[in-house]
């Protein structure tokens, strides 16, 4: 059927073309746009996180299902090649130790630097076996960092044995050798086994704190008792039993009538009832009964005090304090 178009008539109106709607940005896109980091950096961080999670989950599942260790090691090595490997070791807490020493101990015998193959407990055990280290914290910081925090032991004394000087802590643990020219200002303990007696020696010094700064050295005699050497040169022989009480008695006597720095060479308190004293150049000792009466200047020792003092199983020498320190013997 034909359609007649009249001349002069206006053409039929056209429908306006519809506008394309611009899709709204998702909430995730809007949040990413507000982050202070670039999209590439964020994408890498997400990739490393996913990769690390997958690698750890793989090793966990392999161990859970009893997969042979070689397969778990293979997964760890694959993760290492992908970037999960030790590239940096952060060490904190050091005061006296050398950083390179800790680094060498931590990575000793490591056949691989793959992060997931680093045995943290084994690293910690190796660190704790080193003298200076009292405690150690070891952790991973993915993807490529090992974190180690060290707690060092505190030196409490210097142990001299057969001419060798060694720093020890309050428990007697050997820390490090020290030279005579660079000795720190610490108490000196002398003789075989003296380091093992360090806790008892610290308790002995605590019994008479007024004398502590005046004690230059202590010699462990016969593996059973102490001889103390003072900064003024005198030696004090303490008994095997009741040494703290004997030291307190000597401190009281010195406080009432000074004994140190008065020309005496040796004091002997092994007899609980009397103190024997000897001056340089004298053949016999003087005696003070129970520490209550001062002997006359020319009084000789009585009873068992005649001549040089000797014990049952250790011979007490009359060498000066300097000789005892040089020889390391009492």
Q: What are the tens digits of pLDDT across the range 204-234?
A: 999 999 999 999 999 999 999 999 999 999 9
Highest mean pLDDT pick, 12-16, 26-30, 120-124: 120-124
Lowest mean pLDDT among 12-21, 222-231, 241-250, 287-296: 287-296
Give the per-residue pLDDT at 174: 94
Mean pLDDT calculated for residue range 104-114: 73
Question: What is the structure's pLDDT at 321?
Answer: 34
Residue 98 pLDDT > 70: yes
* Least confident segment among 154-168, 238-252, 273-287: 273-287
186: pLDDT strictly greater than 60: yes
pLDDT at position 169 over 50 = yes
Task: List the end-to-end C-alpha distance of the chain, in Å, as a whole number.
Answer: 139
- For the chain, what is the mean pLDDT? 74
Q: Which of 23-32, 42-51, 123-132, 268-277 has the lowest mean pLDDT?
A: 23-32
Can you tell me the mean pLDDT for 292-313? 36
Locate all alpha helices (DSSP H) within the chain, ordered by sequence: 27-34, 39-64, 69-81, 99-106, 120-128, 198-207, 243-256, 321-327
Q: What's the confidence (pLDDT) of residue 324?
A: 35
Average pLDDT over residues 93-97: 90
Q: Which residue has the higher pLDDT, 26 or 270?
A: 270
| pTM (2 d.p.) | 0.59
Question: What CA–CA distances, in Å, run from 250 to 39, 208, 262?
Answer: 79, 9, 15
Q: What's the confidence (pLDDT) of residue 327?
A: 35
Sorting pLDDT into bands at 50, 70 and 90, what band is 135?
very high
The helix, strand and coil proportions of the chain, stated in percent and rounded to the nearest 5, come to: 35, 25, 45
Decide if pLDDT at 192 tops 90: yes
Q: Which residue has the higher pLDDT, 34 or 290?
A: 34
User: Does the pLDDT of residue 244 top 60, yes or no?
Assistant: yes
Largest CA distance in the chain: 160
Which whole-number Å values give the CA distances from 99 to 115, 155, 284, in the listed order?
A: 21, 19, 58
The rounded distance, in Å, linking the Cα atoms of 115 and 262 is: 68
Higher pLDDT, 236 or 314: 236
Task: Give me the mean pLDDT over the 109-126 stretch.
Answer: 78
Q: Are 176 and 185 contacting, i.e. CB atoms less than 8 angstroms apart? A: no
Question: Residue 38 — very low, low, confident or very high, per pLDDT cuts 50/70/90?
Answer: low
Mean pLDDT of 258-263: 93
Quote the DSSP letter at residue 329: -
Ranked by mean pLDDT, the top range of 101-110, 181-190, 224-233 is 224-233
Distance CA 83, CA 55 (A): 11
What average pLDDT does range 61-90 have in this prediction? 55
In whole angstroms, give the CA distance from residue 15 to residue 12. Answer: 10
Are 277 and 288 in contact, with CB atoms under 8 Å apart?
Answer: yes
> 11 CB contacts (<8 Å, ≥6 apart)?
none
Mean pLDDT for the stretch of residues 122-130? 90
């Amino acid at each position: 059927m034909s359609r007649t178009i009249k001349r002069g008539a206006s053409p039929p109106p056209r429908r306006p073309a519809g506008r394309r709607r611009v899709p709204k940005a998702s909430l995730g896109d809007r949040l990413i746009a507000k982050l202070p980091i670039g999209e590439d950096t964020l994408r890498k961080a997400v990739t490393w996180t996913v990769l690390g999670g997958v690698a750890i989950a793989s090793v966990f599942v392999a161990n859970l299902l009893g997969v042979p260790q070689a397969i778990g090691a293979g997964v760890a090595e694959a993760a290492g090649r992908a970037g999960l490997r030790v590239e940096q070791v952060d060490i904190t807490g050091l005061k006296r130790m050398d950083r390179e020493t800790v680094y060498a101990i931590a990575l000793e015998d490591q056949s691989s630097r793959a992060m997931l193959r680093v045995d943290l407990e084994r690293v910690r055990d190796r660190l704790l076996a080193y003298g200076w280290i009292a405690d150690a914290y070891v952790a991973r910081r993915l993807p490529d960092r090992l974190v180690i925090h060290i707690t060092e032991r505190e030196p409490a004394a210097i142990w001299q044995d057969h001419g060798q000087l060694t720093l020890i802590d309050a428990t007697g643990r050997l820390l490090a050798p020290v030279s005579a020219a660079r000795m720190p200002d610490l108490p000196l303990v002398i003789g075989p086994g003296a380091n093992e007696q360090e806790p008892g020696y610290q308790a002995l010094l605590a019994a008479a704190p007024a004398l502590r700064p005046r004690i230059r050295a202590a010699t462990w005699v016969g593996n059973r008792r102490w001889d103390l050497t003072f900064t003024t040169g005198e030696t004090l022989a303490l008994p095997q039993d009741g040494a703290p009480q004997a030291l307190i008695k000597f401190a009281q006597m010195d406080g009432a009538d000074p004994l140190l720095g008065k020309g005496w060479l040796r004091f002997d308190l092994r007899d609980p009832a009397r103190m024997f004293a000897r001056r340089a150049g004298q053949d016999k000792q003087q005696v003070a009964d129970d520490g209550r009466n001062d002997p006359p200047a020319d009084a000789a020792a009585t009873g068992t005090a005649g001549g040089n003092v000797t014990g049952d199983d250790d011979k007490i020498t009359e060498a000066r304090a300097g000789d005892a320190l040089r020889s390391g013997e009492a």
